[in-house]
Amino acid sequence: MTEPAVEVRDVVKQFPNPGGGIVNAVDHVTLQIRDGEFFSLLGPSGCGKTTTLRMLAGFERPTSGEIYIKGQLMNSTPPYARPVNMVFQNYALFPHMNVFQNVAFGLEMERVSRAEIHRRVEEALALVRMSGMGARRSSQLSGGQQQRIALARALVKRPAVLLLDEPLGALDLKLRKEMQLELKALQQQVGITFVYVTHDQEEALTMSDRIAVMSQGRALQVGPPAEIYERPNCRFVADFIGETNFLQGTLIGIEAGHATVAVTNEDMQVIGLPGGDLHPGQQVTISVRPEKIRLLTEPPYVNVNRFPARVQDVSYIGSDTRVLVRLSPSLTLSVWEQNRISTLDPNAYFTRGQEVWLTWLPENALVLGE
Ligand SMILES: Nc1ncnc2c1ncn2[C@@H]1O[C@H](COP(=O)(O)OP(=O)(O)O)[C@@H](O)[C@H]1O
Ligand SMILES: [Mg+2]
């Protein structure tokens, strides 16, 4: 295997807590990021994403553990001597300089020749689709353009690894979605390893080759988007990525790769896919995504995961109809039906109070031990 671009080995970062004691901002994190990979750190606010990135940049030193970039131990290497560059959420452009000067700044500090600076700045501006804008003042640019210049400024230095801390966070939704695709295309074009921090799960799924889902300083799961969404390894990841229904139960047994679970306080058995090492008698959580449940008006022919229910609420949201169904006084599930046919007929949709049947494939019910 080729050497990872970035390696984080059992890294801990503690900060003194203003109220006394210590905060474990990063708690025994181990990551291997491949050369040329678009790798995201994803998790809720305060989970340790920025602290991890700042340790890669060299702005913070690990309390313990090691950081390697391109095979070199970086723990005591200052930021300017690392082959990395960082892009922040608030672009931090120099307001009194024009676009060209902003992008050239880092190279001028390195005393690169004028001809070389000119060539590289133009190349970086072309990469972010801002050719010919060199004379503009940064105050004359839109938010999206400013973020492009911040990117060009980082790329012009040709770092081995680009670190991005919620770089699209300040943009409105439509522009953010455009920039996500642009940034992903740009990363593929330049081939630089990106380590990208976001709390937006859809953003991470859209852009990343692999994602590390973080919570409370720990990396709970690392994998490609489909694996994170389809095979979360714990309840936190299943809950944080997308939406899901949870059912609590007791594992009865596993046979032919399928787990049978007795749902707690319900007259209901679910057949699902075991996620991890499980043993009979153990308490489990079943996760079923709302788009993976079939809603039928007649009883289905299959005789597993087949439950009668009543429609409690219907929300039409354009692309989908979101149906809340009640299976018992203590159990409701959310089901999403894709609106495949364009119609104004209200009878084409489920209605409140309607009797229905639910069913799902065993593969669509993930049985988790925690
Ligand atoms: N310089 C600091 N001093 C004290 N606590 C800090 C410092 N930086 C971060 N923290 C704490 O460390 C935890 C992780 O913070 P951070 O890495 O910024 O999270 P994220 O970027 O995921 O929102 C939080 O509890 C935060 O309050
Ligand atoms: Mg942060």
Q: Please state, as a whole number, how many other Cβ atoms lie within 10 Å of the Cβ of residue 21.
A: 8
- The CB of 50 under 6 Å from ligand 1? The reply is yes
What band does 237 get if pLDDT is binned at 50, 70 and 90?
A: very high
- The CB of 42 under 6 Å from ligand 1? The reply is no
- Where on the phi/psi map is residue 256: left (φ > 0), alpha (ψ -120 to 50), or beta? left
What CATH number does the domain located at 243-368 have?
2.40.50.100
**Nearest residue CA, atom 27 of ligand 1?**
46
Q: Which of 12, 13, 14, 23 to mutate to test the pocket of ligand 1 (most atoms within 8 A of CB)?
A: 23
Which regions of the chain carry the CATH code 3.40.50.300? 6-238
Lowest mean pLDDT among 29-43, 133-147, 232-246: 133-147
* Confidence check: pLDDT of 338 > 70: yes
- The CB of 46 under 6 Å from ligand 1? The reply is yes
Over the stretch 66-123, which tens digit does the pLDDT of each residue have? 999 999 999 999 999 999 999 987 767 888 899 999 999 888 888 789 999 999 999 9
Query: Which residue blocks in the chain are alpha helix, DSSP H?
Result: 49-57, 99-109, 114-127, 143-155, 173-190, 201-207, 225-230, 235-240
DSSP string, 38-67: EEEEE-STTSSHHHHHHHHHTSS--SEEEE
pLDDT of residue 22: 95
Report CA(50)–ligand 2 centroid distance (Å).
4
Ligand that comes closest to the CA of residue 44: 1
Torsion, Cα 144 148 154 155, to 10 degrees, reads: 150
Residues constituting the chain: 370
- The CB of 45 under 6 Å from ligand 1? The reply is yes
Report CA(261)–ligand 2 centroid distance (Å).
39
∠ CA 123-184-235, nearest 5°, is 155
Q: Side chain identity at 35, as an amino acid letter?
A: D
- State the CATH architecture for 6-238: 3-Layer(aba) Sandwich (3.40)
pLDDT of residue 1: 59
* Confidence check: pLDDT of 256 > 80: yes
Over the stretch 119-176, which tens digit does the pLDDT of each residue have? 999 999 998 888 988 999 988 888 888 888 999 999 998 899 999 999 998 888 888 9
- The CB of 44 under 6 Å from ligand 1? The reply is no
Over the stretch 320-336, which tens digit does the pLDDT of each residue have? 999 999 999 999 999 99
Identify the DSSP state of 3. P
Which regions of the chain carry the CATH code 2.40.50.100? 243-368
* Confidence check: pLDDT of 250 > 90: yes
- The CB of 22 under 6 Å from ligand 1? The reply is no
- Which residues lie closer than 8 Å to 169 by C-beta, 6 or more apart? 89, 198
Over the stretch 163-222, which tens digit does the pLDDT of each residue have? 999 999 888 888 899 989 989 999 999 999 999 999 999 999 999 999 999 999 999 999
pTM of the model: 0.93
What band does 231 get if pLDDT is binned at 50, 70 and 90?
A: very high
